[in-house]
Structure 1
Amino acid sequence: MLHPHAQRLSASAQGKKEWKSQGSGRKSRPRLASSLAVTSPDDPLAALSPEAAGGKPKSGSSPRHIPVVRLKVVTDMDLGLAQGVQFKTMDLNSIIGLLEKQPKDDLEERQLQSIKMMVQCYQNGFPLRDLAQIFKIMSLCSEKIEKQPVFLEIVCEILKLCRLPFLKKKTSDEITYAKEISEAVSHLGDLIKIPNSELRIQLCKCIVDFYHAEPLKKQIAGYQQVSSTYKIQMIESGGLAEILVLSWDLLQAELIEKLWLLKTLQHLSTSEINCNLMIKALAANKICSCLNNPDPSGQLLFRSSEILWNLLEKSSKEEIIKQLSHLECLLALKEVFKNLFTKGYRHYDRQLRNDILVITTIIAQNPGAPMIESGFTRVLILFATFNEVKSQDPLVKGLKLSNSYEDFELKKLLFNIIVVLCRDLPTVQLLIEGKTVEALFSYVKKTERHKVIEWSAAQHEELQLHAIATLASVAPLLIDDYLACNGNSRILMFLEWCVNEETFFSQGNSFHGTGGRGNKFAQMRYTVRLLRAMVSLGNDVVNQDLCDHGAINQLIGILKTTVIKLKEEAIVLEIKSDILLILSGVCENNNQRKELFGNEGVDMILHLMKIDPKKFQSGLGYKRLLFSTLDSLWCCILGCYSLEDYFLEKDGIFLLLDLLALNQKNFCNLILGIMVEFCDNPKTSVHVNTWRGKKDQTAANLLIKLWREEEKDLGVKRDKDGKIIDAKKPLITTFQEEQKIIPAPPSCPTTSIMEVSENIRAKIYAVLGKLDFENLPGLSAEDFVTLCVIHRYLDFKTGEIWNEINEELKVERFRPISTDKEILDSITVASENIGKMVATLQNEMVESQRSQDIQSEQKAYTKLRATHRQKDMANKSWAKFLSRTSNAKALKKAKKLQEKAIESSRPKEYPQNAIIHPTDIKGLNITESSDGKVFSTKLEQKTDGRSTLKKAFKDPPPQQDISMKHVNQESLTRNVLTDTLEAQTKKLKKKTTKDNQITTKNTKST
């Protein structure tokens, strides 16, 4: 190894430094090169170097001369850094050969001497490279112990050295020798088979020290310590844990050996790999069977429970339960638990007792575990109820639980194991004998603050909630005990206390108390769950007893309180949902109870149906609440005509259709089922047809749209226009196509029949059928195409079922008689003909719609052409106007045409006494130039007798818009003509008035 401070120094530079230091008269520092370099006199590099003489280079040497530099690899030994012992190796192969020789007179002494020398050599640990040979030597020595006990001490000495950390010279040694060491470690477990207590204990100590490696006291030169992780990996790969478990039966006689083996297995069980190997060797069964063995120290029970816990956590839980579900294991667990429960007084005993109970609870989850046969179930029920119900059993006589944390946990664990045990129906009789329901109902009551109780307030609250939760599992199995304890009455009284405003400071610290801190929500939640569990049984006696105690009105009142007063939290929404489910269970199929539900209940359902759809994604339970609301609508309102009418009056159908329009796949089936039932009421169809959704969508359009989406999801074959492709199988889905025809008994429904209840097509058909297929408003051509299929749904489904029957007959190789075959063929042909007829009708509708679209398109184009024609006429009119203003001949021609038109429009004969007004305005010659100036024209006579056209220009009015010049040219001319006519008319009126005045005067004078 090179030291980091080793340098290459040139001889000339060193000489110069030495010369300068001597010349200055100061004490010179020892040179690094002289202290590190040790050269031999025969070294040619040393002879060539000027440093060999200790002087500086000659002055006459050439300046280009490069001195030769001597290099030396510097190691830790050179620097004095390799502290510790120098490691000496031995020829281990010779020792192995010596041990393998045939026994002679002096061979044993030579063998022992050589092995002792080896032990002395490896006092500081074994190197990885020698480990496989050392383990082989140990194995050979162990084989000789039976005949030559002297080798026992040698094997123990080698095991003691194995407890030291292993040594590696290189980092790669761990990988290089991994396979050899793994195989060697696996043979280490064979030593436990030797019937010697000292050797077995020493082996266990050696394995335990693998997990607690201590650093070496002396450092070995050139070697490093291997981590304990590497040792553990070698144990895992070598399968040592399985070997030790298989040797369990060999150590049953000696308690000390068994305790050391348990300690070893406890360390090994911290690894998942080792746990799997131990389970393979049936470790759980072997260890659990010996739990009740006598042990004054108590280590056996402690270490065994720790191993069982590690196995449960780190390996297959199912396999462990299977191993522990043996009668001997449960008997041992029962005796241990009884002793700890009745005689344990230390904190340690109570903890161990609770651990055993948890392990028992896990075993009890296996229905095949002989819990009843072992008597463990009876003992557990007794311990769970003796504190609340008096018992004469001597096992619990004088026994009392304290309010310590361990006893509190024990009480909760006993409640929990009752829930697990009641899943096995034979346990019910034991629960009845143990008065379990009565014991649990002792907690279903108002908490009395001033009464002295054995538990603290927080503990009592948690036990109360746990007891109610346990009742929800136990009470449905023990209905007679439930009724005998007046269960309904107690629950309703407790619910009344939960709702009232009496001050109650809930702790809300436990699992069952979640969401109930500072209030009674947790108590209300578990009480309502208990009531829901009882109602869900459908027992008429229980339900009638509830109604007799006024449960319907009380629950509606609680529901109203939660809706109006309480904040919408997850726990409150859960309580609402459970109350609605209870009301559904009580009122279902009973019109008298539906009448008790009344208009107040309908109002609450209508209020809950107005949930904001955005809240469905909040995760608080709004979807569950809506499910419960719809379920209560179906069970509490439908079938009672007065409530149905009230629901319709309050626009309930509109709310249902609004929910259906959300197209929530989870709700559609339920809502459509309600719609089918509601359509039996003749008033419903008017409400359904009146409803309008977004973009003026009708209910029929919504239902048909849902049908198309459902068929798309199911993979039904349709073309781009929604028409039928396969007339033989118009309703077949992708799943039905992939499903093969399998012969089944007559009681088993076929795929075609099951498909009816699994999607919404049948319900859509029923609703539209009750609304009348022919009078559905707001449908498009595409809707009518789909409606053709919906209209014939029942015919198609009937044909599909007959076709399935026919296929089943072929698969089962049954040949029907000729008459039956003719009937089957005729049904198949009729079904196919209906499909073809519907397909033809759909084609006609599509073609009709296409022709209608073409006509509409042509009308649109006609309007466009008319618009363009008007524009062309306007352009022509403008062009004529320009020609009149710019060309006098054109103006004259237009004037003549105008006069001719006026003349032709005049009547040929005038009636007598008709007044004819002249339409020509003399002297009116006005037009407009291209620059916007107005000018007038008139003919003037010159002296030579010729006439000329004189133009008088005027500027346009200042307010005239330039953009309107061309548009207003004709209107300007018309205005001028109009003004002139008005002026002539006024003059004529004035003249007529004067004539009339003159005539009047003449008449008066006459």
Structure 2
Amino acid sequence: MMRILQICASRIEDFMEFIDPVCDIIKLLGLPFLKNKMSDEARYTETAAKSLSHLGDLMYVPSPQVRMQICSTVMDIYNTKHPIPQIIGFELTSTSYNVEIAAMSGLAETLVSSLTLMKDNVQVKILLLRALQLLSRTNENCMFMARGQAAFNICSLLNDPDPSGELMLLSSGIILNLLDLGPKDEIIKQMNNLECICALKDCVVRLFTTGYTDRERQLRNDLLVITTVIAEKSRALMINLTFLLFLSVKSRNPLLGNIQLLHNREGLKMKRLLMDLLVIFSKDWSSDKILSDKKVVSALFTYVIPTEKPEIQDWPMPYFQELQLQAISTLSSVAPRLVEHYMACEGNKRLLQFLKWCSSQDGFVGNGNGCCRRSKNEQICRTLKLLNRMVSVQDTTLNKDLCDQGAVRQLLRVLKKTNTDAVGKNNTVILEIQTEILSVLTSLCETDSHTKELFGSQGVDVMIQILKMGPTQVSSGLGHERLILSTLTCVWSCITGYNITEDDFLDKQGMFLLLDLLAVNWKTMNTILLTLLNKFLENPKTHSHFYTWRGKKFETVPHLLIQLWNEAEKKLGEVTDKYGRIIDPKNPLGRQIGKDQKKPPISPNNVTTSTCEVAENNKSQIYSLFLKLGFSDLPGLSTLDYVTLIAIMRHLDFQVGKVWNKTRQELKAENIQPLKYDSDASNYIKKEFEDLAKRVRAQQSQVIVEHQKMELEEEQRRYAAIKASMKQRAEAKKTWDNFVLRTSNYDALKEAKRIKEDMIELSRPEYVIQKGIDHATEIYGLNTTVSCGRVLRVQSTPSELTGGPLADTCLAQKRLPIRGGALRDFRIQRFKF
């Protein structure tokens, strides 16, 4: 059938009579296939796909009627309701099968390639685009269409004459499908040329000026989305920014004179898309001149105002709030590139006033969309991010102006308020606000002592409040760890280096809080904590805090530092024995020096790996701390700690020796033979460092031997004490057994036994038993003489009843419950000592 169809189609150009029969046959291909077995679908898949592939080739037949029928047939393939009666003995194939066959045939690629033939016939072009829009709904067809240069062919047709307006709408829909389901990078590459970009520009400008219907406004926004996607990959060829003027600034440009922006959802989306484009353009340095000439910073600042009295009228409050947040975020990208325009607009003053309003209001009044549901905290957060971006530029004039406006005190007040509001809550936005404030304060105080003075006692109080956060809360994963890191950085920039704030921080126990954090041993914080401690130790008042601090297990600072040292050694792969002693004097750091020699030699202008390790790992910081604390009279160190401390004392020497060894390895790797004097000097240095390592190992061994001797003596002493205790217990038990055998008063025996159980935990069992016997004798009037291993004499008449001279005066004054001549049981307070 397809061969017959191709023969007929080849004769259409000479014989017009073939057009109708060809169209009738093509129309049949849009109907479902028929099958009489379930296996027919798999059996004839390839044949069916080839038939549809030949159908695409017929688009080159120079007949509008045939081309239109082909497009209609393709659309019929996707039709789920075919008016075909049931044929006995056959079943219709499913629509999904038909769509699958169409995708396998490569029909989409052929149809896209034929677009260039339709420039003069708008009707056929529209019908073909409708068919392509159906095909672009699957990944397979999008891949075929990309191979046929669909993005370029369709985008270049955007400005073709079209009285119906469907051409632009269908084209944008197909391109969006290609970007979503097809190879995105390839599609963008096809449109990243002057022809496509100019076509997009003309369409957008035309829709800006003449688009009045909702359909046209939606189309305008779709084209802006396509423009934004292209701009993300290539900004050099992007469209002119003239239409960006309409953000809010009045313009005399005649192009914008007829624009009527409606304050509805489509208008909101359009403005947000334009702001997204501004963010993309700001990444290109060549755009600075255009952004400056168009006064983009001034236009964006018109949104940074309290929402009760917006200067831009007619916007619904939720829409204006969304635009406000978007404008602040856009300024964070644009304003750092245009500092002069930012200062000309009094940006610092505006932002601080807006921040003051935000922190004193309940925030948004409407629901809005997206981030607007997060109330005033989102306004504060984005404003602080903008301030952080501005101060990070490190422009002296800008930062000084910000301090003169009272930014430091205002930010501290906001930070203190958020700390109070965050108690008992897990709000990620509040945590982000706190982190941004700390970053701004860090940048402001980093190099300015006057700003540190403004930070003052109020800032120290806030830092102390944050540092008191519990370890459980910090490790919750909500951002508290980042907050603590920002706080530590702020302490470094705003407190250290200024004596007044340093002393205030120490007086308020801030050093103890830093040491508590170090004891928790968070890997991400140890480096900055050790750096901070080194900085604080330059203040003589800090030493007493180091010697006074005790951890949860009563560990001291020197012991904690040695623990961190051992962990750093394990991380670096340095190997010692179980006592922490050097194993190989030739390689005291315990690592393979030549294991990385296959790498290319290091340039003379670069530092070596060994030098980098000295500066980067925590061992250098710990060594520096011990240098300031001293290596003697350190509290809380065990014998094994002293073994490690001996190696720490020689850390710098070992590092110098390692650098010399590395130098020799590099010379050998580069086949460089040093001069005789250099070689002798190198060998002498090597021998000296090996001798030093041997001396250190000998000192460590001596300490270990003394430690083992002390352990042995302690073990012997404990064994002797246990032996003596067992002997005493045996004698006490014998005394007790004799007492039991010779005591006829059951109540006295019972009370003595109870007293024995109460006091059995004491270390002297004979003392316990004797006390029990004496107390029982005192209560029940037993005249008992106990001698260990001898006879007991017991008198069973209670003296309390006779009131004799040995009676318990306290007990004798009580009225004893006596009925019928028998002694009634009563509660007696236990003897405690």
Pick from 815, 819, 837: which aligns with 2:695? 837
Match of 1:235?
A: 102
Match of 1:802?
A: 660
Match of 2:457?
A: 599
CA contact (8 A) 2:279 2:333 kept: yes
Structure-2 separation of matches of 1:628 and 1:634: 10
Report Cα offsets for 1:415-461 as digits up to 9, x if no partner. Answer: 12111111111101101000111111122223344978131222222
Structure-1 separation of matches of 2:686 and 2:50: 75
Match of 2:386?
A: 530
CA contact (8 A) 2:282 2:334 kept: yes
Q: CA deviation at 1:783?
A: 1.9
Structure-1 separation of matches of 2:741 and 2:169: 119
Q: CA deviation at 1:379?
A: 2.1
Match of 1:247?
A: 114
Provide TM-score, normalisation by structure 1.
0.71
CA contact (8 A) 1:181 1:234 kept: yes
Structure-1 separation of matches of 2:113 and 2:590: 61
Q: What amino acid sits opposite 2:316 in the alignment?
A: S
CA contact (8 A) 1:654 1:687 kept: yes
Q: CA deviation at 1:838?
A: 2.8
Pick from 37, 41, 44: which aligns with 1:170? 37
Report Cα offsets for 1:800-846 as digits up to 9, x if no partner. Answer: 22322332333333333222233333333333333333333333333
CA contact (8 A) 1:266 1:306 kept: yes
Structure-1 separation of matches of 2:595 and 2:78: 62
CA contact (8 A) 1:367 1:424 kept: no
Q: CA deviation at 1:722?
A: 2.8
Q: Cα 1:967–1:836, aligned 2, differ >3 Å: closer, same or farther?
A: same
1:513 aligns with 2:372: yes
Q: What amino acid sits opposite 1:543 in the alignment?
A: N
Q: CA deviation at 1:152?
A: 3.9
Structure-2 separation of matches of 1:346 and 1:693: 72
Structure-1 separation of matches of 2:282 and 2:749: 99
Match of 1:474?
A: 334
Report Cα offsets for 1:153-187 as digits up to 9, x if no partner. Answer: 33322111111111111111111222232233323
CA contact (8 A) 2:27 2:69 kept: yes
Match of 2:711?
A: 853
Q: CA deviation at 1:493?
A: 1.7
CA contact (8 A) 2:307 2:317 kept: no
Structure-2 separation of matches of 1:380 and 1:752: 57
Match of 2:769?
A: none
CA contact (8 A) 1:717 1:726 kept: no
Q: CA deviation at 1:673?
A: 1.1
Pick from 395, 412, 419: which aligns with 1:563? 419
CA contact (8 A) 2:35 2:90 kept: yes
Q: Cα 1:257–1:719, aligned 2, differ >3 Å: closer, same or farther?
A: farther
Q: CA deviation at 1:592?
A: 1.7
Match of 2:302?
A: 442
1:260 aligns with 2:127: yes
Structure-2 separation of matches of 1:236 and 1:847: 82
Structure-2 separation of matches of 1:514 and 1:755: 49
CA contact (8 A) 1:741 1:808 kept: no
Pick from 407, 428, 442: which aligns with 1:551? 407
Structure-1 separation of matches of 2:45 and 2:793: 118
Pick from 501, 506, 509: which aligns with 1:643? 501
Q: CA deviation at 1:708?
A: 1.7
1:864-875 to 2 correspondence within 5 Å? 864-867=722-725
**Percent identity between the aligned chains?**
40
Which of 1 and 2 has higher RCO (CA within 8 Å, sep 6+)? 2
Deviates more, 1:445-454 or 1:542-551: 445-454
SS in 1 for 2:443: helix
Report Cα offsets for 1:121-163 as digits up to 9, x if no partner. Answer: xxxxxxxxxxxxx334333443454566544433322111111
SS in 1 for 2:370: coil
CA contact (8 A) 2:205 2:243 kept: no
Match of 2:23?
A: 156
Match of 1:584?
A: 442
Structure-2 separation of matches of 1:847 and 1:767: 28
Q: What amino acid sits opposite 2:211 in the alignment?
A: G
1:112-151 to 2 correspondence within 5 Å? 134-145=1-12, 150-151=17-18
Q: What amino acid sits opposite 2:245 in the alignment?
A: L
Q: CA deviation at 1:316?
A: 2.5
SS in 2 for 1:742: coil
Structure-1 separation of matches of 2:373 and 2:593: 44
Match of 1:714?
A: 572
Q: What amino acid sits opposite 1:528 in the alignment?
A: L
Structure-1 separation of matches of 2:686 and 2:116: 75
Number of residue equivalences: 761
Q: CA deviation at 1:869?
A: 5.7
Stretches of structure 1 that go unaligned for 5 or more consecutive residues are: 1-133, 883-927, 934-955, 977-1006
1:896-915 to 2 correspondence within 5 Å? none
Match of 1:393?
A: 253
Q: CA deviation at 1:767?
A: 1.4
Structure-2 separation of matches of 1:613 and 1:265: 60
Q: Cα 1:796–1:286, aligned 2, differ >3 Å: closer, same or farther?
A: farther
CA contact (8 A) 2:530 2:621 kept: yes
Match of 1:315?
A: 182
CA contact (8 A) 1:723 1:786 kept: yes
Structure-2 separation of matches of 1:837 and 1:869: 49
Pick from 670, 677, 680: which aligns with 2:528? 670
Provide TM-score, normalisation by structure 2.
0.86
1:540 aligns with 2:400: no
Q: Cα 1:201–1:757, aligned 2, differ >3 Å: closer, same or farther?
A: farther
Q: CA deviation at 1:594?
A: 0.8
Match of 1:828?
A: 686
Match of 2:48?
A: 181
Greater Rg over alpha carbons, structure = 1
Structure-1 separation of matches of 2:142 and 2:562: 61
Q: CA deviation at 1:194?
A: 2.3
CA contact (8 A) 2:731 2:788 kept: no
Q: What amino acid sits opposite 1:165 in the alignment?
A: P
Pick from 481, 485, 508: which aligns with 1:627? 485
CA contact (8 A) 2:235 2:281 kept: no
Structure-1 separation of matches of 2:677 and 2:190: 63
Match of 2:778?
A: none
SS in 2 for 1:694: coil
Pick from 257, 269, 290: which aligns with 1:430? 290
1:763 aligns with 2:626: no
SS in 2 for 1:665: coil
Q: What amino acid sits opposite 1:161 in the alignment?
A: L
1:67-466 to 2 correspondence within 5 Å? 134-145=1-12, 150-367=17-234, 369-371=236-238, 376-384=239-247, 388-449=248-309, 453-466=313-326
CA contact (8 A) 1:488 1:546 kept: yes
Match of 1:609?
A: 467
Match of 1:54?
A: none
Structure-1 separation of matches of 2:637 and 2:178: 68
Deviates more, 1:412-421 or 1:864-873: 864-873
Structure-2 separation of matches of 1:355 and 1:739: 57
Q: Cα 1:803–1:368, aligned 2, differ >3 Å: closer, same or farther?
A: farther
Report Cα offsets for 1:635-657 as digits up to 9, x if no partner. Answer: 00000011111111111110001
Match of 1:692?
A: 550
Match of 1:128?
A: none
Q: What amino acid sits opposite 1:440 in the alignment?
A: L
Q: Cα 1:931–1:869, aligned 2, differ >3 Å: closer, same or farther?
A: closer
Q: What amino acid sits opposite 1:548 in the alignment?
A: D
Q: What amino acid sits opposite 1:634 in the alignment?
A: W
Match of 1:483?
A: 343
**RMSD of the alignment, in Å?**
2.9
Q: Cα 1:178–1:846, aligned 2, differ >3 Å: closer, same or farther?
A: farther
Q: Cα 1:779–1:153, aligned 2, differ >3 Å: closer, same or farther?
A: same
1:749-760 to 2 correspondence within 5 Å? 749-760=607-618
Structure-1 separation of matches of 2:113 and 2:421: 67
